[in-house]
């Protein structure tokens, strides 16, 4: 399996987290039967050049073949994927709310679904497998910069500013809650509460990746939950698993296997960070 990864240009960095590519030769091996992507607050534009891959939302019973150009929206339940030798997928992962700056249609229509990207974007560039990863990145970045909608970008930056001010406690939430809620629904497609819940779940997975024997109570305390029962219920709501059931499968893994398992759950930046931690501790 070949995996490519790069950060976007400076001009796109406020909206795009990274660009990536995954390719498996016809004679290659897929390291897992089903890839599980837990709920996350980012959206992904994907081009598929090789064989079909298969996606099912919220369960492992309704897999649908995917090829061509797709937009994977923010998802509030696990997404499950089946890959096969011969796949070749290129993707652009947007920052939370970043996609809004390029669309004129309501962002909430993209949540929890995989859509034909041609129905959402006008004149998407034709990318082919023979281009090479670097050239594909250059073409899609030039396209996105040309399609940036100024008024949408201004609303996106306004939301980021309010969130930053709230996090630094320089803005009263009572004075900005209505504005914040309206912007969250318009720019991200979910409520501030749902956004915080998804962020907490991703943080808990990152903590599992760094310390797989961490206790649920410790996780609840670190993430600001009222008690461990509240954390466990929310974790199961978004992942379909309890922390205990996830830990039970991780305890039997060796450290390298543990990292391999979490490749499907956490971002490349987190993966590099936690890999370096494990190497230091070996």
User: What are residue 44's DSSP bridge partners?
Assistant: 72, 93
> Which candidate, 225, 112, 247, places its Cα nearest to that of 233?
225
Q: Is 184 helix (H, G, I), strand (E, B) or coil?
A: helix
Asked if 13 and 141 touch (Cβ cutoff 8 Å), the reply is no
Task: Please state which CATH number belongs to domain 2-149.
Answer: 2.60.120.10
Q: What is the pTM of this model?
A: 0.86
Two structure tokens written together for 94: 């947007």
Asked if 264 and 80 touch (Cβ cutoff 8 Å), the reply is no
pLDDT given for residue 229 in this prediction: 94
> Which candidate, 144, 159, 156, places its Cα nearest to that of 192?
159
pLDDT given for residue 239 in this prediction: 86
Q: Binning pLDDT at 50, 70 and 90, where does residue 97 land? A: very high
Q: Binning pLDDT at 50, 70 and 90, where does residue 281 land? A: very low
CA distance 106 to 254: 45
pLDDT in tens, 139-183: 999 999 999 999 999 999 999 988 787 767 655 555 577 888 999
Q: For residue 133, what is the DSSP state?
A: H
Task: Please state which CATH number belongs to domain 192-281.
Answer: 1.10.10.60
pLDDT in tens, 230-267: 999 999 988 888 888 877 766 666 665 655 655 555 55
Sheet strands (E) in 99-139: 114-116
CA distance 228 to 225: 7
Question: Domain ranges in the chain?
Answer: 2-149, 192-281
* Domains 2-149 and 192-281 alike in fold: no
202 has a pLDDT exceeding 90: no
Q: What is the mean pLDDT of residues 61-66?
A: 94
Note the Cα 33 to chain centre separation in Å.
20
pLDDT given for residue 83 in this prediction: 92
String of DSSP letters for 32-51: -SSEEE--BS--EEEEEEEE
pLDDT given for residue 11 in this prediction: 97
User: What are residue 191's DSSP bridge partners?
Assistant: none
Q: Is 68 helix (H, G, I), strand (E, B) or coil?
A: strand
Rounded to the nearest 5 degrees, what angle is found at the Cα of 100, between the Cα atoms of 96 and 101?
110
């Amino acid at each position: 399996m070949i995996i490519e990864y790069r950060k976007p240009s400076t001009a796109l960095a406020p909206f795009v987290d990274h660009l990536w590519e995954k390719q498996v030769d016809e004679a290659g091996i897929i390291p897992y039967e089903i890839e599980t992507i837990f709920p996350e607050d980012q959206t992904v534009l994907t081009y598929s050049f090789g064989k079909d891959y298969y996606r099912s939302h919220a369960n492992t019973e309704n897999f649908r073949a995917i090829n061509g150009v797709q937009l994977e929206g923010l998802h509030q339940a696990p997404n499950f994927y089946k890959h096969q030798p011969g796949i070749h997928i290129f993707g652009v992962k947007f920052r939370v709310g970043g996609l809004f700056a390029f669309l004129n249609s309501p962002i909430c229509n993209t949540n929890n679904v995989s859509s034909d990207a041609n129905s959402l974007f006008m004149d998407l560039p034709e990318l082919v497998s023979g281009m090479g990863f670097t050239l594909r990145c250059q073409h899609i970045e030039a396209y996105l910069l040309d399609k940036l909608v100024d008024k949408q970008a201004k609303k996106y930056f306004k939301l980021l500013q309010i969130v930053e001010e709230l996090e630094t406690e320089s803005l009263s939430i009572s004075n900005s809650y209505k504005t914040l809620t309206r912007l969250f629904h318009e720019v991200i497609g979910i409520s501030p509460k749902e956004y915080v819940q998804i962020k907490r779940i991703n943080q808990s997975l990152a903590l599992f990746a760094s310390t797989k024997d961490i206790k649920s109570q410790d996780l609840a305390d670190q993430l600001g939950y009222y008690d461990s029962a509240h954390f466990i219920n929310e974790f199961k709501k978004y992942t379909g698993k309890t922390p205990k059931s996830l830990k039970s499968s991780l305890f039997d893994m060796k450290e390298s296997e543990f990292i391999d398992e979490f490749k499907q759950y956490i971002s490349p930046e987190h993966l590099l960070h936690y890999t370096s931690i494990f190497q230091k501790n070996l």
